[in-house]
Amino acid sequence: MKILKHLALFLIAAILVFASFLIYSTLTWYNPPQKLVLSEYDEPDTVRCDSTYSVLSWNIGYAGLGDDMDFFYDGGKKVRDTYERTLINLDSIHRFLKRNSSQSFILIQEIDLHSNRSYYLNEMDTFVNLSDFYPIVALNYAAKFVPVPPNSPLGQVNSGIMSLSRYIPESSVRHGYPGLFGWPSRLFNLRRCMLVNRYPANNGKEFVLINTHNSAYDNGTLKVQEMQYLKDFVLAEYAKGNFVVAGGDWNQSPPNLPLNKFGENYQVDFFKLTNIGAGFMPGNWKWVFDPETPTNRYLNESYTPGQTCRCLIDIFLVSPNVQVLHNRTLDLNFRNSDHNPIEMQFRLVR
């Protein structure tokens, strides 16, 4: 009887601890307003039509997903890389961005501000010293404690998307994407968003630059809602006569790109690769990408060229009044991130 009593007390204590944890997680759940103004400037810089601009987009994998890494959420086993390798990745990413600091705009996804998975480094501090850039960050993952996997929890996560600009925007606004995971999963998952910078153009309109990072692990319903929100937003901006460039990690392949472009091993259980619908955007809008170079490698194993699954999910979308002059994927062999950066040169056309 004494054993049963102790067992009952233990179970009651465990239930109370678990319930308290859920209550705490619910009360501290990151739930920002759907539209959150992050910055506004009274004297923004004007972006000129017929001038050439460049934009680079890169999911840096919070400096924790280099070529030596696998990840438990993608069929691997590890939760985080070593501290030493995380520092090496972060330094390499910084040096690459410094070499490419002639870009007009840089869009970064998965930058950690204070997360257990990246040893509580504030990675924004590393990039804000890039000369002559105006930085802004929108959080899309803020959890006090992520309890999975049980044997080595992911712990605290504070992460987001960051836009760096050589030009002062008139505003930077976080737009929360619609759709939520069910409770309690939503307490420990990302709050997806897009970061919108606006700049006055010298023809009286606006240049709208969007940094996006769309859902990866939902059953498809969240991604559909996110894409519809983005589509409605960019079409409304174009209808006003504004210029639109959207770039980032879409977690989908471009329309009509064969899913087996980089091998048949794309057919895996942990990430269902799909195409953006061929008719999703009006025909005069342009999906801009380098079809010959993958932008992402899977994390079920450390990276082995010719063996590890690869795909193309980092893309630019531009409105009809934006002329694309050049684009490419910079193949870094996934040394310091599970993504390769992409870049594009463009011009706003009157």
Read off the pTM: 0.95
Q: Cα 82 to chain center, whole Å?
A: 22
User: Do 339 and 60 contact (CB within 8 A), yes or no?
Assistant: yes
pLDDT of residue 219: 72
Parallel, antiparallel or unpaired: strands 342-348 and 52-59: antiparallel
pLDDT digits (tens, 9 = 90+) for 294-340: 999 999 999 999 899 999 999 999 999 999 999 999 999 999 999 99
E-strand ranges in the chain read 35-40, 52-59, 105-112, 134-146, 155-165, 171-176, 193-200, 206-213, 243-249, 286-288, 296-297, 310-311, 314-318, 322-329, 342-348
Parallel, antiparallel or unpaired: strands 314-318 and 322-329: unpaired
Give the max Cα distance, the chain.
85
> Which among 55, 45, 50, 103 has a CA at the least distance from the CA of 347?
50
pLDDT of residue 217: 76
63 vs 80: CA distance, rounded Å: 10
Q: Cα–Cα distances in Å, from 163 out to 19, 107, 197, 204, 274?
A: 38, 5, 8, 24, 27
DSSP string, 95-135: HHHHHTTT-SEEEEEEEESS-GGGTT--HHHHHTTSTT-EE
Which amino acid does the sequence have at 46? T
Could you tell me the residue ranges of all domains in the chain?
1-30, 32-348
pLDDT digits (tens, 9 = 90+) for 180-210: 877 888 888 899 999 999 999 999 999 999 9
pLDDT digits (tens, 9 = 90+) for 8-66: 776 777 788 777 777 878 788 889 999 999 999 999 999 999 899 999 999 999 999 99
Per-residue pLDDT at 146 exceeds 80: yes
pLDDT digits (tens, 9 = 90+) for 156-166: 999 999 999 99
Q: Which range has the worst mean pLDDT, 221-225, 235-239, 268-272, 321-325?
A: 268-272
Q: Cα–Cα distances in Å, from 120 out to 58, 188, 213?
A: 21, 18, 22
pLDDT digits (tens, 9 = 90+) for 65-98: 999 999 998 889 999 999 999 999 999 999 999 9
pLDDT bucket at 6, cuts 50 / 70 / 90: low
User: Do 175 and 230 contact (CB within 8 A), yes or no?
Assistant: no
Give just the sign of the alpha carbon dihedral 70, 74, 76, 81.
positive
Averaged pLDDT, 104-123? 97
Q: Which residue carries 């009360």 as its tokens?
A: 27
261 vs 34: CA distance, rounded Å: 37
**Phi, psi (5° rounding) for residue 98?**
-65, -40
Fold of 32-348: Deoxyribonuclease I; Chain A (3.60.10)
